Structure 1
Amino acid sequence: MKTVVIKECTDISIANTYTFDLSRIEVTHCVGCWTCWWKTPGKCVFNDLNEFYHEYITADKAIYLAKVTKGFISGNLKSLLDRMIPLYLPYTTYKTGESMHVKRYEKYPDIEFYYDGQFQTDDGLEIFEKYINRVFYQFYSKNIVVKPIEDFVGIGGYKK
């Protein structure tokens, strides 16, 4: 099983995986130019994520180890999610009863999303979990798990 790791938590490592370390990489913001859809289908005008796109789309599972501040993901992770739009077609479908981009690829990885951070209220946590689930539902991931980082470490995740 091929696994890709997207991490902001510097004290956690997972052996034998492709790791995209957001604590060391500043993701360029999407400029909304639509080049990835019309001029170079599936390829962003910025070439900084080409290796990541390949690793992500060929993975069976993507594990996110995210920092949460003020009840939301970091700006850097949000930029990465925005920049994943080349993995989908510019057309929309209504097959599920709602508007979604059409898949570009046959399969997308299952998601394990672990967050490191606190929420001021239970409602804040619920909104956050629903947001993460919606993002990856829209990204065509079939199995989506959203849990606190302690659950990852508790199931054998390696903490430095």
Structure 2
Amino acid sequence: MKTFIVSEYEVNLKNYEDIMNINEVTFHGCTGCWSCWWRTPGRCAFKDLEQYYTNYINADTVVYFLDTKTGFVSSKVKKLFDRMIPLFLPYSNFHTGESMHHPRYEKYPSIKIYYKDTDILDNEKTVLEEYLHRTFYQFHSKDISVLPLSEFKEEQL
């Protein structure tokens, strides 16, 4: 089982080599050019996240360790999520009663998210957790877990 770890801070996990610290990676924000759908399907015009896309789509599980800024994800994480659009087709469906892009791939990874829960209010936790669940539901992940970092245990990975 392949696990890909994406973190906003240094994580010391003994059994994992495939770790991306997003603060050590420089990448552009999505410009809405739609190149990933029309000119180079599945490939962003910017080549700065190609390894991330490959690792993400080939993983069985992707684990995110997120910091929280003013009760929400950081701008860098939001930018990363915005840049995931090449992983989906430009066509929409309404099978679930809401608009969703068609998946480009047959399978998408399970998602585990651990967020720093210090200095965050209960209502902010609720908004954050709902946002993260909805985001990865829209990203066609079937198994989504969002937990405060205080509940993290490495053996759960």
Range class of TM-score, shorter chain: over 0.9
C-alpha change, 1:40 and 1:57, in structure 2 (3 Å) is same
1:27-58 superposed Cα distances (whole Å, 9 cap, x missing partner): 31111100000000000000111111111101
Q: State TM-score, norm by structure 2.
A: 0.93
Which 5+ residue runs of structure 2 have no aligned equivalent? none
- The 4+ residue runs of structure 1 with deviation greater than 4 A are none
In the alignment, is the contact (CA less than 8 A) between 2:90 and 2:101 conserved in 1?
A: yes
CA distance in 1, matches of 2:126, 2:16: 33
Counterpart residue type for residue 25 of structure 2: I
Q: TM-score, normalised by structure 1?
A: 0.91
Whether 1:44 and 2:48 are equivalent positions in the alignment is no
* Higher alpha-carbon deviation: 12-21 or 43-52: 12-21
- Which position in structure 1 is the counterpart of 2:89? 89
Aligned length: 157
Distance change (3 Å), C-alpha of 1:15 and 1:23 = farther
Moved more, 79-88 or 4-13: 4-13
Q: Alpha carbons of 1:129 and 1:59: their partners in 2 closer, same or farther (altered >3 Å)?
A: same
Partner of 2:151: 151
Percentage identity across paired residues of the two chains: 43
Q: What are the within-5 Å matches in structure 2 for residues 109-120 of structure 1?
A: 109-118=109-118, 120=120
What residue is the counterpart of 2:132 in the other structure? 132
- Cα pair 1:7 1:21 within 8 Å, conserved: yes
Structure 1 alignment gaps of length 5 or more? none
Instruction: Quote the residue 1:107 is aligned against.
Output: 107
More strand by share: 1
CA contact (8 A) 2:72 2:124 kept: no
Secondary structure of the corresponding residue to residue 150 of structure 1: helix
